[in-house]
Amino acid sequence: MHDVMSLEAGRPETEVNAKPSRRRYSAEYKRRMLREAAACKESGALGALLRREGLYSSHLSWWLPGLSLPELLRVLALLRRIVERREAAQAAAAAWGLLRRAQPAEPPQAACRE
Cα separation, 45 vs 37, in Å, equals: 8
Q: State percent of the chain over pLDDT 70.
A: 75
Residue 27: pLDDT band (50, 70, 90) is: confident
Check whether 42 has a pLDDT greater than 70.
yes
Give the global pTM.
Answer: 0.48
pLDDT at 49: 94
User: N- to C-terminal Cα distance for the chain?
Assistant: 80
Cα separation, 52 vs 63, in Å, equals: 18
